[in-house]
Amino acid sequence: MSLLPAPLGPVRPDFLTRVTPAARLVAGMTWLVASVVTLDPVVPVRLTIAALVALVLWSGLPLRRIPSRLAPLGFAILSLTALSILLSGANADRSLAALVQLGPVRVTGPAVSAGLAIGLRVVVIGLTTVLVFGPSDPTRMADSLVQQLRIPDRFAYGTLGAMRVAPFLADEWTLIAAARRLRGIGSGGIGGRIRDIGDRLLVMLVGAIRRAERLALAMDARGFDSGIRRSHFRELRATWRDWLTIATALAIAVAALILPR
């Protein structure tokens, strides 16, 4: 049993799964930018609705698994919203009427509005991220980045190789803890626990480097660094679906920003 969350599968074929990952990334970035450039909560509300529609109709993702996947983010979003309202500069402005006044704590309308905009911004980013990364696996993402966005291939595929090691690293983290407990290493208190985490991190990194060196040797033995131009096993090309996705996302982002309330 791994410490890491499982990928969001199984994905059934649908419109967004046939769009190349690079196109989904570009489309997602337009929503990210649109939600970040404004403190008007209406913009992230509109983008949240658009993202939910896309998720239900075109993503091919197992919808039942999405709420539990996004649940851990709820606390972070609520906390950021509350803090953005409480620590807002608008609260100190005496010309604004206070919505709430509790001793020294004063909350004004603009503070609430901006706080909601920032909290909803994170909701938009979370849903958009699911739409960008959910419909295909990292291998297809790497293929797409290399072929369409011209990311250097040795770095992209090297990273893909390294990613396969992630579950082993997470297992090793628990294994190191067990080994240390068995030997009676470790100390109490906050300082001691931080030291313990540092020591465990060092052991995990040493293991990671040794594993990386073996992997690099194996990859070189198979000609990874031959210098010969790489051909592609899975050819990816932009299709009308890609351009439609990017154009639609951009149009929605612009509409969300400029349409009157």
Q: What is the footprint of other proteins within residues 48-67 (CB under 8 A)?
A: none
Query: Does 239 engage in binding with other proteins (CB under 8 A)?
Result: no
By beta-carbon proximity to other proteins, the closer residue of 179 and 206 is: 206
Query: Does 129 engage in binding with other proteins (CB under 8 A)?
Result: yes
- Please, are residues 12 and 115 in contact by the beta-carbon 8 Å criterion? no
Query: Does 211 engage in binding with other proteins (CB under 8 A)?
Result: yes
Cβ-in-10-Å burial (0-12, 13-18, 19+) of 128 comes to buried
| Candidate segments 26-34, 55-63, 234-242, 251-259, binder of other proteins by CB under 8 A | 26-34
What are all long-range contacts of 9-14, with beta carbons under 8 Å and residues at least 24 apart? 9/62, 10/62, 11/60, 11/61, 11/62, 11/134, 11/135, 11/136, 12/60, 13/60, 14/58, 14/59, 14/60, 14/135
By beta-carbon proximity to other proteins, the closer residue of 18 and 211 is: 211
- Please, are residues 39 and 115 in contact by the beta-carbon 8 Å criterion? no
**For 164, which DSSP code?**
T
As a whole number of angstroms, the distance between CA 136 and CA 127 comes to 15
Query: Does 91 engage in binding with other proteins (CB under 8 A)?
Result: yes
By beta-carbon proximity to other proteins, the closer residue of 86 and 251 is: 86
Query: Does 100 engage in binding with other proteins (CB under 8 A)?
Result: no
Query: Does 47 engage in binding with other proteins (CB under 8 A)?
Result: no
By beta-carbon proximity to other proteins, the closer residue of 149 and 237 is: 149
* Binder of other proteins out of 114, 236, 253, 256 (CB under 8 A): 114
* Binder of other proteins out of 11, 122, 175, 257 (CB under 8 A): 122
